[in-house]
Amino acid sequence: MAKKLKSSLVYLDYASATPLAPVVQKAMVKAELNWGNPSSVHQVGQLAQVALASARRQVAKILAIKPEEVIFTSSGTESDNLALLGVAKTQPAGQIIVSAIEHPAVMAVTEYLTKLGWEVVCLPVNEFGLISAKDLAVKLTDKTRLVSVALANGEIGTIQPIREISQIIKKWRLQHNTSWPVLHSDVCSAAGYLNIQPHALGVDLMSFSAQKIYGPKGIAVLYKRADLELEPLVYGGGQERGLRSGTESVALATGMATALALAIKQQKKQSVRLSKLRDWLIGEILKLIPNSRLNGDSKQRLPNNINISFSGVDGEQLAYALNRQGIYVSTGSACSATKNEISPVLKAIGSPAEWGNIRITLGRETTKKELQRFLGKLIRMVNDFHN
């Protein structure tokens, strides 16, 4: 079972990683009994293949897609890379459109694609981190092959109008009698809080991982529309319909399926509960700490996300100070937090450079009592910075 923190410690970084749910761990231990190679033709291997197929079907059923549209990968980052590079490798250099606040896994790929002759268009965001779907409409050209916009930003919590974006793209395709561009969305931060069924969102490619929904690290999914052609990043035995070679982990796939099922089951209840805690804490911080501001949209926002900036405060030093008091927060995405640079997301929304920020993300085990303890420490520490 996942090791619990001492009662005096407060974990508020659920957007970076979540503890393994006991039911998920139990399912994974049982799945490890099917230790054979799923590609083997003998009975031991075929038992593993049956278990792997069962996990795939479970994920597909939850997402209302076909099992063959579920590609297991090792991480959300790999899923993003496979989506973008997988499309790019099938086409001559064209245009890719992304928002200015995409995850580093997407932005790093676009930077690489520019070296291969691709044109990358970054859609600006407003002060709340929202892109304009109408802005996208005027950027589309006959060279546009891919649009990638995350359903929700993991750093500031803003939820993007993906359905509207999808409608614009589909209208473009119809008007120009083409199958391009395709729409990809990273929904890693939204999983467990928002509807991530691909057909409901209108996406052609979609990435998410298990580690943010109380599942294991090392397993993620790429949804790929059945008739969409991709080129693999990893070559070998041709597993995952030729898109991700390498022996599959039955236990990890089972962990993903079990975690996803649990997340969907608890989604409505947890979203309502966490939204109330989120709004209470935001209100208290803005009321009790002068010169504080909320980053991201106050309404179109993930239920568990709070990102706050404070004038004259170093965000990293504040996070370290809280850590010494047994309170664990972050300053942004864990995938870029170690680079010691000003967040590109905060830059994009126009947050003043002299304002330091912290990200507080809530989870299933978060209580109001924990948040009250955190708030008291936060008020004292911010005051210390100003004195």
pLDDT digits (tens, 9 = 90+) for 125-143: 999 999 999 999 999 999 9
- Domains of the chain, start order: 10-19+267-386 (3.90.1150.10), 22-262 (3.40.640.10)
Phi/psi for 119 (5° steps) reads -90, 125
pLDDT band at 277 (very low <50, low <70, confident <90, very high): very high
**Is residue 203 within 8 Å of residue 34, measured between CB atoms?**
no
Once rounded to an integer, what is the mean pLDDT over residues 302-320?
97
List b or e across 328-366, with b for residues whose CB sees 16 or more CB atoms inside 10 angstroms: bbbbbbebbbeeeeebbbbebbebeeebbbbbbbbbbeb
Q: Which residues contact 134 (CB under 8 A, 6 or more apart)?
A: none
- DSSP annotation string for 63-114: HTS-GGGEEEES-HHHHHHHHHHHHHTTS-S-EEEEETT--HHHHHHHHHHH
CA 11 to chain CA centroid, Å, is 19
Distance CA 172, CA 175 (A): 5
Model pLDDT for residues 200-209, shown as the tens digit of each residue? 999 999 999 9
First to last CA, the chain: 44
Take residue 305 and report the two structure tokens written for it. Answer: 């996300």
Using the predicted structure, report yes or no on whether residue 310 has a pLDDT greater than 70.
yes
pLDDT at 1 over 50: no
Contact 151, 71 (CB under 8 A): no
pLDDT digits (tens, 9 = 90+) for 217-257: 999 999 999 999 999 999 999 999 999 999 999 999 999 99
pLDDT at 341 over 90: no
Q: What is the mean pLDDT of the chain?
A: 95
For the question of whether the overall pTM of this predicted structure is more than 0.85, the answer is: yes
Any idea which residue has 């080129």 for tokens?
A: 231
Q: Quick one: average pLDDT of 35-55?
A: 96
Which parts of the chain are beta strand (E)?
10-11, 70-73, 95-99, 119-123, 144-148, 182-186, 205-209, 220-224, 292-294, 305-311, 327-328, 355-361
Cα(90)–Cα(386) distance, rounded to whole angstroms? 55
The catalytic residue positions are: 335
Per residue in 156-202, pLDDT (tens digit) is 999 999 999 999 999 999 999 999 999 999 999 999 999 999 999 99
CA distance 320 to 101: 25
Residue 334 reports pLDDT greater than 90? no
Encoded amino acid at 202, one letter: G
Residues of the chain with pLDDT > 70, as a percent, come to: 96
Furthest-apart CA pair in the chain: how many Å?
Answer: 71
> Do residues 259 and 28 lie in contact, with contact meaning Cβ atoms separated by under 8 Å?
no
pLDDT-based confidence at residue 337 (cuts at 50, 70, 90): very low
